[in-house]
Amino acid sequence: MKIINLSERPEFQETVTDWLWKAFGSENSRAFFESVVQSSLRGADLPQTFIALEGDTLAGTVGLWRCDLISRQDLTPWLAALYVDEGYRSRGLGQELQAFVLEHSRRSGFSELYLYAEFTGYYERLGWKYIGDALDYPDKPVRVYQQFL
């Protein structure tokens, strides 16, 4: 498995957009995810989109975003939009994608990274520290996690 920046293989941008929209979005939010993916291709420090490839097959994606939770704009940056294609689940790819973003963030000079989830157990096992609850827009309770780099 190889993890690279989406900018190295931009032909996967539509698939990544669709994955994120279907996994994390609502009926009318595809344009939002398309915008984030497009922004990550413009060469800015953030956001960035990374993809996992097995040969030439897209297996997963993860983002490094300036902010992923509107109610906690005081925290930055965020590991965001972690998605593994169904055929590649339960193989540790989610953990590999997280490790890649953690190392990339450390090399980029960040000292900590955040994420949020609606569930418990998974991120704690991978070294993330639960730091409190917050609201995802408009009113969905989520758990906020932090990891020092």
* pLDDT tens sequence across 63-88: 999 999 999 999 999 999 999 999 99
Task: Specify the CATH architecture of the domain 2-148.
Answer: 3-Layer(aba) Sandwich (3.40)
d(CA 120, CA 124): 7
- Tokens, residue 20: 């994120």
Decide if 55 contacts 21 (C-beta within 8 A).
no
Q: How many CB atoms lie within 10 A of CB 48?
A: 24
pLDDT value of residue 4: 98
The residue assigned the tokens 């398309």 is 34
Decide if 143 contacts 106 (C-beta within 8 A).
no
pTM recorded for the entire structure:
0.95
Q: Where are the domains of the chain?
A: 2-148
Decide if 52 contacts 59 (C-beta within 8 A).
yes
pLDDT in tens, 102-140: 999 999 999 999 999 999 999 999 999 999 999 998 899
The residue assigned the tokens 């790819």 is 93
- Tokens, residue 67: 């902010």
